[in-house]
Structure 1
């Protein structure tokens, strides 16, 4: 995976390790998908944690976004490669024919090729910036979805800290009994599937014969 395509993974992982879910929540306890056995008290504080690596690698929406961005990067690289080769061929052809051209003809063709080269460089930079911005936007969207999900479900609990655990991160040890990764992951994926289904239902064409009497 190239550096640009993996940007969304690296940024989200950086945000998550150590402090991503080191958040202070307040909410009324009224029961929910988490139970008292999912957390422990430490000096009066209720703490659980999420394995960041597992969450990101198994979150279906994250995988879809990453695949989409990789495809976009591949298509852009392919297009730029073809355009670059085409321009190189034009330049090589001009260099071959230049000795047979008049000074005026040679200058005119050279100016056209220089203009094409400048346009190509500008297009390449513009498209690369657009893709990088989209990657950052999708990264922010993913972060917000995870944050909002935990925030929403924590309104039914009284967790004071939901830590983001990752090997090599700031947390040196995490008791597996406090791991709620699967609960969070299942909830996120369930919501994503529900959104996809709702979106598909809205886009599906209506049956013009529905409701008609035979």
Structure 2
């Protein structure tokens, strides 16, 4: 989710740069074309924090991801506890002369170290898999929102749709320029009609 916010903020930065160039290259003509209230040609914005918490597709993706993450951690923790128990048993045997020979003790220690390395490898693999899935979910979510915004803007003909977050770049705007709720309603209607 942070990746989506980063991507949306990057788009915002590019959009602000474009506005800056347009404003200073031909400010008098462009200022007549931009309207001060939401309507054709207006610059509007969406609060991505609200969008991510209210868009059902986003919530569903997040819930599935958290479930998968929890299942992975539970499985990993079970294996880690099993290894910890084996290490404790090895320690007890080693301290109490439970091995018939030094070679057997060294062999048991090597097996224990190999299991520990395998567990560390499993941890890295699980982390990489979860990170990859989170990135894929962020891309799916971003694609879903931007595809909807293309359809949405065809009916509204805004010049620019920006994104912001709570405490982000948009601190104050005229009423009607925040289209977040309208977009959330549309996204949720589309998602209910045909889940992504």
Please state which band the TM-score falls in when normalised by the shorter chain.
Answer: 0.7 to 0.9
Report the Cα offset of residue 96 of structure 1.
1.2
Q: Report the structure, 1 or 2, having the larger helix content.
A: 2
Conservation of the 8 A alpha-carbon contact between 2:87 and 2:112: yes
Q: Distance in 1 between matches of 2:153 and 2:172?
A: 23
Conservation of the 8 A alpha-carbon contact between 2:47 and 2:164: yes
1:11 paired to 2:9: no
Report the Cα offset of residue 13 of structure 1.
2.2
Q: SS in structure 1 opposite 2:176?
A: helix
Aligned length: 175
Structure 1 segments, 4+ long, off by >3 Å, are 17-24
Q: Distance in 2 between matches of 1:166 and 1:130?
A: 28
Report the Cα offset of residue 122 of structure 1.
0.5
Q: SS in structure 1 opposite 2:172?
A: coil
Conservation of the 8 A alpha-carbon contact between 1:18 and 1:166: no
1:167 paired to 2:166: yes
Gaps of 5+ in 2: 19-34
Gaps of 5+ in 1: 1-7, 25-35, 200-214
Aligned to 1:79: 75
Q: Distance in 1 between matches of 2:151 and 2:80?
A: 50
Which of residues 84, 87, 95 is equivalent to 1:88?
84
1:70 paired to 2:66: yes
Superposition TM-score, scaled by structure 2 size: 0.79
Superposition TM-score, scaled by structure 1 size: 0.73
Conservation of the 8 A alpha-carbon contact between 1:52 and 1:164: yes
